[in-house]
Amino acid sequence: MENIVITISRQYGSGGRTVGEMLAEKLNIHYYDKELMKLASEDSGINEELFIKADEKARGAKKLFRVAASAYSGELITPDCDDFTSTDNLFNYQAKTIRRLAETQSCVIMGRAADFVLKDYDNVLSVFVHAPEDFCIEQAAKKLSMNTAEIKRFIQKTDKHRADYYHYYTGRSWTDARNYDLCLDSSKLGFERCVDEIIAYMNVRFQ
């Protein structure tokens, strides 16, 4: 198999981003997170600022994903339609970018429901990184200037957004282990061992 893609979903504070960055560095492959918005902008011709604003709006919205839409199917809205720059179509173009990457290179892709977008690709390994609340709070405290109660609320709000976002575009539960090839508790393994376990799984899965 010429190229392998690892998608990583993670609870806030679990260190999933760190695991993804370490994995990409160890494998000497590209790491994609917010850069996906820039690539989607270049492909669609839609201003990157709209992708960024949609992302920020989604993070702050309380009811944006209240009702699950039909699961993402790959269809794009054309420029002549009023909904061309809608939040759903911005997701569609990010998904298109994710599929193109999976077809052309080995890489690590963070979030964006990439595991679902690429669910029919044989060269994809999907990972979910999680950890107990106390561990997530401890890790988040290294980056956030908040007290423990505020950090706890921030983590709960962030993870709820991620769960709602995932359900809206996939119709699936974000924390359901059946959606992923590998689920790792970073509090028990540590970040480096998480990387090692992913690589070990890759070696078995892709020989």
Interval 141-185: pLDDT, tens:
999 999 999 999 999 999 998 898 899 889 899 999 999 999 999
Residue 77 has a pLDDT of 54
Residue with tokens 């963070």: 110
Angle at 7 between CA 21 and CA 128, to 5 degrees: 90
CA distance 188 to 49: 39
The model's confidence at residue 139, banded by pLDDT at 50, 70 and 90, is very high
Residue 85 has a pLDDT of 58
Boundaries of every domain in the chain: 5-205
Structure tokens at 64: 């944006």
pTM of the model: 0.85
Q: Give buried/exposed letters for 104-132 (b at 16+ CB in 10 A, else e).
A: eebbbbbbbbbbbbbeeeeebbbbbbbbe
Q: Rounded to an integer, what is the distance from CA 76 to the centroid of its chain?
A: 20
**106-131 average pLDDT score:** 95
Extract the runs of DSSP E, i.e. beta strands, from the chain.
5-10, 30-32, 107-110, 124-130, 182-185
Q: Pick the residue with more confidence: 2 or 136?
A: 136
**176-198 average pLDDT score:** 97
Specify the CATH number of the domain 5-205.
Answer: 3.40.50.300
Residue 63 has a pLDDT of 47
64 has a pLDDT exceeding 60: no
Work out the mean pLDDT of the chain and round it to a whole number: 86
Percentage of the residues of the chain whose pLDDT score is greater than 90: 61
Q: How many CA atoms lie within 13 A of 6 on its CB side?
A: 35
